[in-house]
Amino acid sequence: RKEVEQDPGPFNVPEGATVAFNCTYSNSASQSFFWYRQDCRKEPKLLMSVYSSGNEDGRFTAQLNRASQYISLLIRDSKLSDSATYLCVAMDSSYKLIFGSGTRLLVRP
């Protein structure tokens, strides 16, 4: 079993749609959690950190449920420019990042 699991997608949605990605992690000792965005053949870029209380950054909302070991990302009012691969990431106690395989999002006009 992978340490961080994500649905690979692709999620194909129209502009303006709301889309949600989910992710589970297996190491209950994981310290911090993140969502990264990766465009084709580019490096991952930090989208947002994920806090237990939930956090929002514009159209993006992230949630963490430590009891269920579950992380989510909600994107509202999808834009064409949101098309990318979204990587769910857990950081262990030694500051090592454990990545999921990514969920691919395609936003169509």
Residues interacting with another protein, by CB under 8 A? Answer: 4, 32, 34, 41-46, 49, 87, 89, 91, 94-102
Alpha helices in 1-109 (DSSP H): none
Q: Compute the least distance from the CB of residue 109 to another protein, in Å.
A: 26
Residue number, 20 or 46, with CB nearest to another protein: 46
Question: Tokens in use for 24?
Answer: 């589970």
Residue number, 4 or 107, with CB nearest to another protein: 4
Q: Which among 9, 29, 5, 28 is positioned nearest to 20, based on CA atoms? A: 9
Cα(94)–Cα(81) distance, integer angstroms: 34
* DSSP annotation of 42: S
Q: Compute the least distance from the CB of residue 77 to another protein, in Å.
A: 26
Residue number, 39 or 77, with CB nearest to another protein: 39
